Chains A and B, each alone.
Chain A
């Protein structure tokens, strides 16, 4: 079982739609959680950190469920420019921690 698992998609949605991605993690020592976005053949860019109480940044909302060991990303009012691959990232442990990247979920937003 992979330490971080995501549905690879692709998710095909029309502009203006709301779309949600889930990510599950298996290591109970996971400490910190992030969503990154990666455009085709570009570097991953930090989209947002995920906090225990949930957090929002404009049209993006991230949630963490420690009991069930998953995080989610909700995108409201999708734009064409949201088309990208979304990576779930987990930092495991403290001190000498390690970072695990999910394989990503592809999103296509269509006009």
Chain B
């Protein structure tokens, strides 16, 4: 069973609208959680990285939240743009062996 579960698998939104992506994890012991944006055929690009003590972190129109008690994270995209169309991957780092666990990603399609 994957230790990082993302939902929804995909979503389509209209340009200018907001959306929220979910990430639940069971990775332990926890070091940090990262959200990456991956355009088709490109390498992932880091959006945010959150440690145990951080609840919210923003990067432009992207806002990530973390609840380390419930092991849940979300990525909120505000006022979506066509360029936001991509796969968003949640990645959790384990602190004892520095191993990364990847979610399957959420594919976001923004339509005009």
A binds B: no
Which A residues are within 8 Å of any B CB, using their own CB?
Answer: none
